[in-house]
Amino acid sequence: MDDHGPPTTWQARLGAIPAGAYGREDVLEAEIEHVFKSSWLCVGFIEDLKNHNDFITFQVGPHSIVVQNFKGELKAFRNVCSHRFSRIQTEPRGNRRLQCPYHAWLYDAEGIPRGIPDNETAFGLTEADRASLALKAYALETCGHFVFVRMKDDGPGLRGFLGQVYDELVHSCETCPERVDNLTLDVACNWKTGVENGIEAYHFPSVHKDSFADVLETDVRMNSYGPHCTHEGRLTEKSRHWWDTVAARARLKTSDRHRDYISFLIFPNVVTTFTAGAFFTFQMLVPASATTMRITSTGWLAEGAGPARAGVIASLKAFSAQVRAEDKAISEAAQRGVGEAGIGRAAILGEVDNRIRHFQRTYAARMELANV
Ligand code: FES
Ligand SMILES: [Fe+2]
């Protein structure tokens, strides 16, 4: 929210990111350096990493990260072999040793190549050589259902980075332990176009008139927590009634902390929602290129053994799929326009866009270093 009241001219409402920054590969490169590498990025789910040798991979721009379970300990590395630079794990998730598929170098929990076929005759690598050929390691921490990685060596821990959001995330995850929805969506837009769509409610009546507009009253309030921000709103009477009925019939163990609706932006690229103290969604919006991104969206539901549970899950999944499809279509339309707008001015941000303003200012402050 502006400290000095609403601006008086439209020029004073201009955002901090020019249209041209929504499609240039050189801008994405700078973003990876200055925005993504210094942030704690969610790279996946603890659920996928429960057993020894379970792994996940995560791709941001050209960078691939592997997280691997070594006898219960999770480690994150650059997913690039020290020998001739092959990817080491090539699937999004699975269970196999941290072993390069090319010439079978095998890595240990420190990222040191331990098993090197024909080492004596082919390389003669000593213990010290092997240690200096260790994979690049990244900082890793977990919170709730999620695994976070920081690619830069220095910086605050996850708790310091998330601030108050840390506790909120723990609370949402404890309230909603079961993953009931998974959706992966490739969208032809810049990741910032996607994030900005995900953090404003102004488009609900036009884009989501048959879905989300029915759920939330329009008087949403914003709060910021460092680089992160929330918006909070009231459920419509119709939605309140639906949730009350559902909570009773599915015997949901709901939380009293957020009985209506709250959405978090975890800077830079995660948007969460928490509805009726019972349903938590978590969307990662990850750039694949300057004009494409992948959304990984999951939904998590409160415990409850009532007979209506399966039906509730089916409704929530159908609803999420509809909202994501509506957002995909409009984000792609927005991207086509922003591409034509070229490097001109930034967008006009009204009071209804105050979370976008916060996001853009945070982004611009990080990117100033990059001189873009
Ligand atoms: S490239 Fe990995 S073992 Fe050769
Ligand atoms: Fe939307």
pLDDT of residue 270: 98
Q: pLDDT tens for residues 130-184?
A: 999 999 999 999 999 999 999 999 999 999 999 999 999 999 999 999 999 999 9
pLDDT of residue 1: 44
Atom 1, ligand 1: residue with shortest CA distance? 84
Residue ranges of domains in the chain: 40-150, 177-367
**pLDDT in single tens digits along all 372 residues of the chain:** 445 566 678 888 999 999 999 999 999 999 999 999 999 999 999 999 999 999 999 999 899 999 999 999 999 999 999 999 999 999 999 999 999 999 999 999 999 999 999 999 999 999 999 999 999 999 999 999 999 999 999 999 999 999 999 999 999 999 999 999 999 999 999 999 999 999 999 999 999 998 888 888 888 899 999 999 999 999 999 999 999 999 999 999 999 999 999 999 999 999 999 999 999 999 999 999 999 999 999 999 999 998 899 999 999 999 999 999 999 999 999 999 987 866 678 999 998 899 999 999 999 999 986 655
Centre of ligand 1 to C-alpha 167, Å, is: 42
Ligand 1 cavity residues, CB under 6 Å: 81, 83-84, 86, 100, 102-103, 105
pLDDT of residue 371: 59
State the closest ligand 1 atom to the C-alpha of 85, by its place in the atom list counted from 1.
1
pLDDT of residue 122: 95
Nearest-ligand number for the alpha carbon of 195:
2
Atom 4, ligand 1: residue with shortest CA distance? 103
State the closest ligand 1 atom to the C-alpha of 100, by its place in the atom list counted from 1.
2
Name the residue among 55, 41, 128 with its Cα closest to residue 87.
Answer: 55
In angstroms, the CA 369 to CA 30 distance is: 9
In angstroms, the CA 277 to CA 279 distance is: 6
Which pair of structure tokens corresponds to residue 3? Answer: 């400290």
DSSP lists the bridge partners of residue 57 as 66
pLDDT of residue 369: 62
Judge if the upstream peptide bond of residue 205 is cis by omega within 30 degrees of 0: no
Q: Which residue has the tokens 């694949």?
A: 288
- For CA atoms 272, 159, 140, 22, the dihedral sign is positive
Which pair of structure tokens corresponds to residue 148? Answer: 């976070």
Atom 3, ligand 1: residue with shortest CA distance? 103
Mutate which of 102, 107, 119 for ligand 1 pocket (most atoms within 8 A of beta carbon): 102
40-150 CATH choice from 3.30.70.580, 1.10.260.40, 1.10.10.60, 2.102.10.10: 2.102.10.10
State the closest ligand 1 atom to the C-alpha of 84, by its place in the atom list counted from 1.
1
Centre of ligand 2 to C-alpha 334, Å, is: 12
Q: Give domain 177-367's CATH architecture.
A: Alpha-Beta Complex (3.90)
Helices 191-198 + 309-341 axis angle, to 10: 130
Cβ atoms 102, 86 nearer than 8 A: yes
Cβ atoms 163, 169 nearer than 8 A: no
